[in-house]
Amino acid sequence: MDTISIHAPSVPSGGAKTRRRMKVRLPAALALLPTALVVLIVYIGCMLWTVRLSFTSSTLLPKLDWVGLAQYSRLFANDRFLTSASNIIIFGTLFISGCLIIGFLLAVFIDQNVRGEGLFRTLFLYPYSMSFVVTGVAWQWFLNPGLGLQKLVRDMGFESFTFDWIVNQRMAIYTIVIAGLWHGAGLTMAIMLAGLRGVDKDLWKAAKVDGIPTWRVYTSVVLPLLRPMVVTAVVLLTTGVVKLYDLVVAMTLGGPGIATEVPAKFVMDHLFERNNIGLGTAAATIMLITVVTVLAPWVYVRYVRPQGRHA
């Protein structure tokens, strides 16, 4: 880039120059080498290996045969996997939209110049600092029908009150959503609040002079400005959804029955407990494809397009 000067017709020391520069940059290259190896071996190598294994009949130990898409057809005929897939869709949709709505509302209400703003912010965000295991255990206890919320309400006199979602096959996944929202809504709030605080103060003044009602300013003026924050939150929450594992393990262990199984747990179980590496890696590959499909547009918008414009 900066090597050849167009004003010099001949560059006699070109080779020497390059060599000198390489010598100067050698320590930098060496410093980056371990990371490069990690990228090559772990991020690329392990990923390809997993994909390759999904085309084999490996069970307890990896084999390098080729069975084509056999594992995939088994996978899509597998009740546990189909439940996992539908669960993650239910969870993902409710969790992401829930976090966005609750997070936005919390941020807007905190932004109303309230007293104790710092306290509210702290209280909304603290769950995010705790692990999913802690979150899962806490909610498992609170939603336990025998001793938790259901008993509490019944003891208050509502004898017929029933809230047994966590042991109810049809409803258990929604308890995971509740716990997830409790854990993650505060983060969305923090991101949105940062966005709200970044809105030009003059814009608010202009809207006030124009006599635009506050709610209308939020919907018509502020919300469009928060789009980057919404995108950030969605990307972040999506990676959280895909990684959903600890919360389920701690809260329901996938139960009752297989009612709260999720893909990440399906993969873990098949790789390390059920000794079915072929099926496990096939499920992992499906997860990979899903993530890439979801992320590709975002990566394109965020990295590829702007580079094209500035070039």
Partner 1 sequence: MSAAVPQGRRPGRLTVGRIGVYAFLVTAALFFLLPLWIMVVTSLKPMEEIRLGNILALPAAMTIEAWSKAWSSACTGLECNGISVGFWNSVRILIPSLILSIMAGAINGYALSFWRVKGANVMFGILLLGAFIPYQVFLYPLVRIFSLTGIYNSLTCIVLVHVIFGLPTMTLLFRNYYAGLPIELFKAARIDGGGFWSIFFRVILPMSTPIVVVATILQVTGIWNDFIFGLTFAGRENLPMTVQLNNIVNSTQGERAYNVDMAATMLAALIPLVVYFVSGRWFVRGIAAGAVKG
Partner 2 sequence: MSTVSVRDVTVAFEAVQVFDGLSLDIQEGEFIVLLGPSGCGKSTLLNAIAGLLDVAEGQIWINGKNVTWEEPKDRGIAMVFQSYALYPRMNVRENMSFGLKMAKTPKPEIEKRVTRAAELLQITPLLDRRPDQLSGGQRQRVAIGRALVRDAAVFLFDEPLSNLDAKLRNELRVEIKRLHARLGKTTMVYVTHDQIEAMTLADRIVVMKEQKIQQIGTPDEIYHRPANLFVAGFVGSPQMNFIKGRLENTGEGLSFLAGDRRLSLSGYPFITAPSAGQDVVLGVRPEHLEIASTGIWPGFTVDIVEPMGADTVIWCSDAVGSVQVRTSGSRRATPGESVTLHVDPTQVSLFAADSGERL
Site for partner 2 in 198-257 (CB under 8 A): 200, 202-203, 205-213, 216, 220-221, 224-225
195-254 positions binding partner 1, by CB under 8 A: 232, 235-236, 239, 242-243, 245-246, 249-250, 253
Q: What angle do CA 205, 124, 106 make, to 5 degrees?
A: 35
Q: Based on CB atoms, which residue is closest to partner 2, 153 or 212?
A: 212
Among 4, 11, 16, 42, binds partner 1 (CB under 8 A): 42
Q: What is the DSSP string of 166-227?
A: GG-TTTHHHHHHHHHHHHHHHHHHHHHHHHHHTS-HHHHHHHHHTT--HHHHIIIIIHHHTH
Site stretch for partner 1 (CB under 8 A), options 26-34, 89-97, 161-169, 201-209: 26-34
Provide the minimum distance between the beta carbon of 130 and partner 2 in the complex, in angstroms, as a whole number: 35
Q: Which residue shows structure tokens 């939209």?
A: 97
Q: What is the DSSP string of 264-287?
A: HHHHHHHHHTS--HHHHHHHHHHH
Q: Based on CB atoms, which residue is closest to partner 2, 20 or 305?
A: 305
Site stretch for partner 1 (CB under 8 A), options 7-15, 38-46, 71-79, 157-165: 38-46
Q: Based on CB atoms, which residue is closest to partner 2, 125 or 221?
A: 221
Site stretch for partner 1 (CB under 8 A), options 9-17, 165-173, 218-226, 278-286: 278-286
Provide the minimum distance between the beta carbon of 50 and partner 2 in the complex, in angstroms, as a whole number: 43
Q: Based on CB atoms, which residue is closest to partner 1, 9 or 153?
A: 153
**How does 86-106 read in b/e, with b if 16+ C-beta sit within 10 Å?**
ebbeebbebbbebbbebbbeb
Per CB under 8 A, 310 contacts partner 2: no
Q: Which does 303 bind (CB under 5 to 8 A by kind): partner 2, partner 1, none?
A: partner 1
C-alpha span between 232 and 234 (Å, rounded)? 5
Q: Which does 89 bind (CB under 5 to 8 A by kind): partner 2, partner 1, none?
A: none
Neighbour-count burial of 168, counting CB atoms closer than 10 A to its CB (0-12 exposed, 13-18 middle, 19+ buried): middle
52-71 positions binding partner 1, by CB under 8 A: 53, 62
Per CB under 8 A, 259 contacts partner 1: no
Q: Which does 200 bind (CB under 5 to 8 A by kind): partner 1, partner 2, none?
A: partner 2
Neighbour-count burial of 53, counting CB atoms closer than 10 A to its CB (0-12 exposed, 13-18 middle, 19+ buried): buried
Whether the bond between 9 and the residue before it is cis, its omega within 30 degrees of 0, is no
Contact of 185 with 98, CB cutoff 8 Å: yes
Query: Which residues here bind partner 2, judged by CB under 8 A?
Result: 200, 202-203, 205-213, 216, 220-221, 224-225
